[in-house]
Structure 1
Amino acid sequence: YLVATTVIVVLAGRVADAYGKTRILLASMALFVAASLVGGLATSFPLLVAARAVQGVGAAAMIVLPPALVREYIAPERIGRAMGAIGSSMATGMALGPALGGLLIGAFGWRGTLLTLVPLGLVAMLLAGGTFRAAVPQGAAEFRVDKAGLAFLTVALGSYTVAVTVQPGGWVGSAALLVVSALSIGGFILTELRVAEPLVDLALIRSIDVVPGFVMAFLVSAVMITFMTVSPFYLTRGLGLDNATMGVVLAIGPVIGILSGIPAGRLVDRHGPIRIAVFGTVLLTVASLVFATVSAPLGLVGYVVAAVLLTPGNQLFMAANNAATFAKAGKLQQGAISGLLGLARNLGTISGVGLMALLFDTVSAGHAVAAGAVLGLRATFAVAAAMAVTALVLALRQRAAARAMARVA
């Protein structure tokens, strides 16, 4: 599922620009619903795996196209609020997903988690179909799939994902896959520079200066997945919480995220995305440093304080970075830019899951359970703080560049 989603997000955005975002969104939702039904009724493991892969293909467009559609239906002065609403909906899913999944498994087994997506998906299709117009965008050129570029990108992303998550063959196997990924990225770049209709228009990416936004999205996603990956182990092993209490504490972050999404968007509309991106990355940096330094001595209070700082920082950054990045692209490039932004976030999530879990286990090994969990928390969030600082530096550079352009104007 994860590999399929990561590989297809770029293609989904490009196809949507050519054939209409609403059309591709509805088709992808239908594919997702059908795959959920097949997976829920699967009678063999290979069929279940295949259904999950097809689910990932459908989910790719469902992830990247809603923000791109916002640019078509929402007035520019309200873009921040719309992006904030999307952030709140994502936080709602993060908060409810694990709990509902557990209830469904307990009541109906694993099939229930997949079959429940069928009616939910159908309702979502009705809402989307009744809200958005399904039309081919005017001025869009006929789209031809860059097959060579797509092949290189698939190998690169697939091998990277497996290397940092599954880690087959230990360090040697992961290193070999990373080499394959690097070589494939090189082949992808060379292909994109030569073909007439590239999957990713590298010249356009350079000209509209969206790479810093992609890099920041990658870094912030890695910081947030660190929080989600490490927290359960720290709360149970380091603080000795039982599973029920841990679940309540874990819900604090997503709940704050739900509540802060729309206010974050309003701040973007009022003060501009560049300024709010700086503020968001400042909060992410401070929260990561609290986790890495004073959270453990302060116990549960320290953890809650850091979590309350981290999740609003993420919502502020996401609303601001999305608004700023989409504003740089033309109407016919919104899907492509959204796909690349989704790819950056997915890669940040994948990298954070694999590398931070490995770091936590490595640092905590050989120590008492509680002491090892504290050391793991400090080590992982020290790295997360470095990533947050890097994102902050990029945000500050964007602010400086914007001020320089304003003075020239």
Structure 2
Amino acid sequence: MTDSRAAATPPHPKDAWPALWALVIGFFMILVDTTIVSVANPAIKAALDPATNNLDNVVWVTSAYLLTYSVPLLITGRLGDRFGPKNIYLVGLAIFTAASLACGLSTSLGMLIAARAVQGLGAAMMTPQTMAVITRTFPADRRGAAMGLWGATAGVATLVGPLAGGLLVDGFGWEWIFYINVPVGIVAFVLAWRLVPKLPTSPHRFDIPGVVLSALALFLIVFGLQEGEHFDWAPWVWGMVVTGVVVLAVFVWTQRRTTREPLVPLDLFRERNFSVANVAIAAVGFTVTSMALPQMFYLQLARGLTPTESALLLIPLAILSGVLAPFAGRLLDRTDPRVLLVPGLLLVAGSLVLYSALIFADAAIWAFLVPAALMGIGNAGMWGPLATTATRNLPPRQAGAGAGIYNTTRTVGSVIGSASIAAFMQARLEANLPGAGDATSGFGSEGLPAQIVGGFSTAMGQALILPILVSLVGLVAVLFMRRPSVIPRRGDRAADAPAAASAPAAAGE
């Protein structure tokens, strides 16, 4: 095939950095928009859903976004391969920015959840393109440093999101956590338009039945988990979850048997490190999403901190993660990924254990800076190394598909974590404050009556047990990684040749 798709050539590695920085701005905005909502949840609940004590209502502001973000990732990765990562990224960024404006203009919880769902669709179009560009423009011996920037972006976003959310909620109102995306989105669009190159594309067929089956399976599972506590775990709720699991199994079966190009190329999972990295990133997504809710509800409602004050406690996390992640990426280019991943995941799990212990002890507020610091160090050895390990051996023609799979598993983990923590928090509240779900006044943003602070705090501390256990699942998974083959040193032409030559070859397939 010789057409305009083959005319584009990949940039030289030194020219790939400006393109990556332009894409990272949008990726950063996506991550900020996830973490920023965790701080604003109490304010959103007080403004749009003040009459109930069911925390799962406001959690759908996060879950709707994560659901519509995760479901299309498999196909949006392929869209990037077919039409070019730049084009798909720009369309997604435009949708995301417009939906952010709609979120800020929402006057009811239902309107906000609907706008967040559209926002998730835009994010789904953007995310795989960042990893695909790294895979296709950076040779293997430089990819760790590039993924280090990707990991640092995640770390810094954990600070900027909650801190910006706290400042905006306190100063202007919860609506401004969404309005702020509009000018940032416009700047990101202009930079991506100018700096991101047009990469060669490959023809792909799209597995529409696979898209439908995967979407149906995820919806049934997540909706069942999210609403289970609200409906007292009625038999039909369990039926939805079980049906979702069955549909998911059917989806995997069809992917294996399809004679056309599958939505998920299962042969990618023959690479052990790719498979293990996907399991681990699902556990990481679950942990990071689920730990934020009990932390923020405890700090703001039980301890009376403002959103800004509670976000300031995350400063050590973001600073250490942002500073250390690039160094971890460079080290990963020369070592076994387990050298970074095992201590990283151990530190994350340990920090959550310490956080829970501090809640039970009613510790001084400053003490919560300690687990935040430990988590920051752990994050540096977790995000970038997992992404690098997953994408190191991906064939360029399937860079988008691999990035879509990886980001899908990460985000599905986040969706399930968000849904599960809501149910678990509600269960712990019922256990420690019997009748809390039937009370006539809701948990507002002005703190709690003194007589229930103890029970509420205990419930939030117990809720952290869930992300602790799941983080340990990720730790066990990475132990099964194998040391990758030796990567040639920088400057070795043999190492650079595949990255430079593969894209034109793929375009002609």
Q: TM-score, normalised by structure 1?
A: 0.85
Q: Give distance in 2, aligned partners of 1:39 and 1:327.
A: 37
Which of 151-160 and 74-83 deviates more?
A: 74-83
* Shift in Å, 1:42: 7.4
1:310 aligns with 2:375: yes
Work out whether residues 163 and 312 of structure 2, in 8 Å CA contact, stay in contact via their aligned partners in 1.
Answer: no
Matches within 5 A, 1:143-222: 143-167=204-228, 169-172=231-234, 173-195=236-258, 196-207=260-271, 209-222=273-286
1:273: which partner in 2? 337
Which of 143-152 and 103-112 deviates more?
A: 103-112
Q: Deviation digits for residues 249-290 of structure 1, max 9, x if unmatched? A: 244433443333333323323534332112212222322333
Which of 169-178 and 293-302 deviates more?
A: 293-302
Q: Deviation digits for residues 181-200 of structure 1, max 9, x if unmatched? A: 11221221222122221111
Q: Which amino acid aligns with 1:169?
A: F
Is the alpha carbon distance of 1:299 and 1:41 closer, same or farther for their aligned partners in structure 2, counting shifts above 3 Å? closer
Work out whether residues 296 and 302 of structure 1, in 8 Å CA contact, stay in contact via their aligned partners in 2.
Answer: no
C-alpha RMSD over aligned residues:
3.1
* Shift in Å, 1:299: 1.6
Is the alpha carbon distance of 1:371 and 1:41 closer, same or farther for their aligned partners in structure 2, counting shifts above 3 Å? closer
* Shift in Å, 1:294: 6.3
Is the alpha carbon distance of 1:402 and 1:250 closer, same or farther for their aligned partners in structure 2, counting shifts above 3 Å? closer
Q: Give distance in 2, aligned partners of 1:49 and 1:245.
A: 26
1:90 aligns with 2:154: yes
Which of 294-303 and 323-332 deviates more?
A: 294-303
Q: Which runs of 5+ in 2 are unaligned?
A: 1-64, 434-450, 487-509
Q: Deviation digits for residues 23-67 of structure 1, max 9, x if unmatched? A: 221222233234445666679998766554332211112222212
Which of 75-84 and 285-294 deviates more?
A: 285-294
Which of 41-50 and 337-346 deviates more?
A: 41-50
Work out whether residues 219 and 348 of structure 1, in 8 Å CA contact, stay in contact via their aligned partners in 2.
Answer: yes
Is the alpha carbon distance of 1:78 and 1:178 closer, same or farther for their aligned partners in structure 2, counting shifts above 3 Å? same
1:402: which partner in 2? 483
| 1:397 counterpart SS class | coil
Q: TM-score, normalised by structure 2?
A: 0.70
* Alignment partner of 2:122 out of 58, 67, 72: 58
Work out whether residues 233 and 373 of structure 1, in 8 Å CA contact, stay in contact via their aligned partners in 2.
Answer: no
Is the alpha carbon distance of 1:106 and 1:389 closer, same or farther for their aligned partners in structure 2, counting shifts above 3 Å? closer
Relative to its length, the structure with more helix (as a share) is 1
Q: Give distance in 1, aligned partners of 2:319 and 2:166.
A: 18
1:129 aligns with 2:210: no
Work out whether residues 295 and 306 of structure 1, in 8 Å CA contact, stay in contact via their aligned partners in 2.
Answer: no
Q: Which runs of 5+ in 1 are unaligned?
A: none
Q: Give distance in 2, aligned partners of 1:379 and 1:254.
A: 25
Which of 243-252 and 173-182 deviates more?
A: 243-252
Q: Give distance in 2, aligned partners of 1:130 and 1:205.
A: 36
2:432: which partner in 1? 366
* Shift in Å, 1:295: 6.3
Q: Give distance in 2, aligned partners of 1:209 and 1:105.
A: 42
| 2:432 counterpart SS class | coil
Q: Which amino acid aligns with 1:54?
A: V
| 1:210 counterpart SS class | helix
Work out whether residues 226 and 423 of structure 2, in 8 Å CA contact, stay in contact via their aligned partners in 1.
Answer: no
Work out whether residues 336 and 483 of structure 2, in 8 Å CA contact, stay in contact via their aligned partners in 1.
Answer: no
Q: Give distance in 2, aligned partners of 1:42 and 1:304.
A: 35
Is the alpha carbon distance of 1:288 and 1:95 closer, same or farther for their aligned partners in structure 2, counting shifts above 3 Å? closer
Q: Which amino acid aligns with 2:69?
A: T
1:375 aligns with 2:458: yes
Q: Give distance in 2, aligned partners of 1:123 and 1:285.
A: 37
Q: Give distance in 2, aligned partners of 1:372 and 1:44.
A: 30
Task: Number of aligned residue pairs: give it.
Answer: 399
1:353: which partner in 2? 418
Matches within 5 A, 1:242-253: 242-243=305-306, 245-253=309-317
Is the alpha carbon distance of 1:190 and 1:80 closer, same or farther for their aligned partners in structure 2, counting shifts above 3 Å? same
Q: Give distance in 1, aligned partners of 2:409 and 2:318.
A: 21
1:392 aligns with 2:392: no
Is the alpha carbon distance of 1:402 and 1:100 closer, same or farther for their aligned partners in structure 2, counting shifts above 3 Å? closer
Q: Give distance in 2, aligned partners of 1:309 and 1:247.
A: 16
Which of 107-116 and 56-65 deviates more?
A: 107-116
| 2:333 counterpart SS class | helix
* Alignment partner of 1:320 out of 385, 389, 413: 385
Work out whether residues 274 and 324 of structure 1, in 8 Å CA contact, stay in contact via their aligned partners in 2.
Answer: no
1:263: which partner in 2? 327
Which of 55-64 and 7-16 deviates more?
A: 55-64
Is the alpha carbon distance of 1:131 and 1:273 closer, same or farther for their aligned partners in structure 2, counting shifts above 3 Å? farther
Q: Give distance in 1, aligned partners of 2:120 and 2:468.
A: 31
* Shift in Å, 1:154: 0.9
Q: Which amino acid aligns with 1:215?
A: V
Q: Give distance in 2, aligned partners of 1:315 and 1:385.
A: 18
Q: Which amino acid aligns with 2:156?
A: T
1:2: which partner in 2? 66
